[in-house]
Amino acid sequence: GNSVTQMEGPVTLSEEAFLTINCTYTATGYPSLFWYVQYPGEGLQLLLKATKADDKGSNKGFEATYRKETTSFHLEKGSVQVSDSAVYFCARNNAGNMLTFGGGTRLMVKP
C-alpha cells in the first residue's frame, strides 16, 4: 500500500540553524503532499502543501518542493526559532482523500 517515510528524530538544532527534514513517499498515483505540525498537547496544523510535481509549498519560512523524480518532499527552513520546536508529519493523500502519515520527526530548537 501507499506509505510515507520520514527521518527519525529527534532533530536538535541551535536557534538560527538550517533545518532539513527528509520525507519520501510511494509513487502510486498522483498524490498531493502535505506537512503538518503538532505542538505539545495539540492537534495537527497544516503547515504547507503541494498538489503536483515541481510545486513548492511555503509558509512561515518553511518550504518543501514536490520532487516526482526522487519521490521526495523534504521540509526546509533557513533559520529556525525556539518556537518551531514541535513534531512534524509528512503526509500524502490517497483515493478517497485518506491521508497516510509518516511517523513524525520531533524538532528541538535550543536558544
Which residues here bind other proteins, judged by CB under 8 A?
4, 34, 36, 42-46, 49, 89, 91, 93, 95-104
Q: Which is nearer to other proteins, 91 or 109 (CB)?
A: 91
Q: Which is nearer to other proteins, 65 or 94 (CB)?
A: 94
- Cell 513524525 locates to 104
Q: Which residues contact 31 (CB under 8 A, 6 or more apart)?
A: 2, 25, 92, 93, 94
Least distance CB 95 / other proteins (angstroms): 8
In angstroms, the CA 76 to CA 12 distance is 14
Least distance CB 42 / other proteins (angstroms): 6
Least distance CB 20 / other proteins (angstroms): 19
In angstroms, the CA 44 to CA 87 distance is 9
Q: Which is nearer to other proteins, 33 or 109 (CB)?
A: 33
Cell numbers representing residue 39 in the block: 505542538
